[in-house]
């Protein structure tokens, strides 16, 4: 069976990685593990992933910093924070880093499975981000010219419509006559 999506689980607790593996592997996901932030960034540089789960508290680089670095280079990639320390301050800081969601420990199979749907969402992955960057750049450059074309053409259309109405009035036709 080929993997549908590839997820990276960043956690210094190997039990957490095994939980993701146990739930997602039978669903066709390839689950890759990283023990910390630095290892996760190395794996991301070497291979492509559809989604990242990261613990918030780890030795060295914390999960919020991991999320910031991922979002800086891959803004389209869903990053989900996995935490046993779900304070409002942590969640606010993580949201400002651009995370897609939170999973609170202890993890349930249902929570893991439903959060993995972010990896299969149409806007996720390379297709929405890296694959269409050229289209986005072209539209950004063309946008002002398209707006300018409307500004230039619209008055002529209005003048033509007013002229047509005047012509019809001069000829004696009403634009709308009842039956």
pTM above 0.95, yes or no: no
Each of the 179 residues of the chain gets a pLDDT tens digit; together they read 454 789 999 998 888 889 999 999 999 899 999 999 999 999 999 999 999 999 988 888 888 899 999 999 888 889 999 888 777 888 888 888 888 888 888 888 888 888 888 766 654 444 444 445 666 677 777 777 777 777 887 788 788 888 888 888 888 765 565 55
Which of 110, 128, 146 is the C-terminal boundary of a domain? 128
Q: Are residues 12 and 62 in the same domain?
A: yes
Crossing angle of helices 63-73/88-96, nearest 10°? 20
State the pLDDT at residue 165: 87
- 107 and 43 inside one domain: yes
Mark whether 137 and 97 lie in a shared domain. no
Do 142 and 124 share a structural domain?
no
40 in Cβ contact with 75 (< 8 Å)? no
**Domain housing 141:** 132-179
48 with 70, same domain: the answer is yes
Domain tally, the chain? 2
Residue 122: its pLDDT value, please?
53
Q: Which of 128, 147, 164 is the last residue of a domain?
A: 128
> Burial code of 85-124, b = ≥16 C-beta within 10 A, e = fewer?
eeeeebbebbeebebbbbbebebeeebbeebbebbbeeeb
Residue 125, pLDDT score: 41
Q: What tokens does 95 get?
A: 């949201």
Report the distance separating Cα 128 and Cα 140, nearest Å: 16
Please report how many Cα atoms fall inside a 13 Å half-sphere around the Cα of residue 126, on the Cβ side. Answer: 6
Q: Are residues 55 and 113 in the same domain?
A: yes
Output the six-digit token pair for 138: 């072209």
Of 45, 12, 9, which is closest to residue 29 (Cα–Cα)?
9
Asked if 122 and 143 sit in the same domain, the reply is no
What's the confidence (pLDDT) of residue 173?
Answer: 65
Based on the fold, state whether residues 119 and 145 are members of the same structural domain: no
Same-domain status, 79 and 16: yes
Q: Tell me, what CATH number does 118's domain have? A: 3.40.50.2300
Tell which of 128, 151, 167 closes a domain: 128
- Residue 125 tokens read as 């992955």
């Amino acid at each position: 069976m080929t993997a549908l999506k590839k997820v990276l689980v960043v956690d210094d607790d190997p039990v957490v990685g095994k939980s993701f593996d146990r739930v997602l592997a039978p669903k066709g996901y390839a689950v890759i593990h990283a023990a910390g932030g630095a290892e996760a960034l190395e794996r991301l540089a070497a291979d492509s992933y559809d989604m990242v789960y990261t613990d918030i508290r780890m030795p060295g680089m914390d999960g919020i910093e991991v999320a910031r670095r991922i979002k800086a280079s891959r803004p389209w990639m869903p990053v989900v924070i996995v935490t046993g320390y779900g304070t409002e301050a942590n969640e606010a800081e993580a949201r400002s880093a651009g995370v897609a969601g939170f999973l609170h420990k202890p993890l349930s199979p249902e929570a893991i499975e439903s959060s993995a749907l972010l990896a299969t969402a149409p806007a996720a992955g390379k297709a929405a981000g890296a694959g269409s960057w050229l289209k986005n750049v072209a539209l950004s450059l063309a946008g002002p010219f398209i707006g300018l074309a409307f500004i230039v053409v619209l008055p002529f259309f209005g003048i033509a419509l007013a002229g047509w109405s005047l012509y019809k009035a001069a000829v004696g036709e009403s634009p709308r006559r009842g039956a």
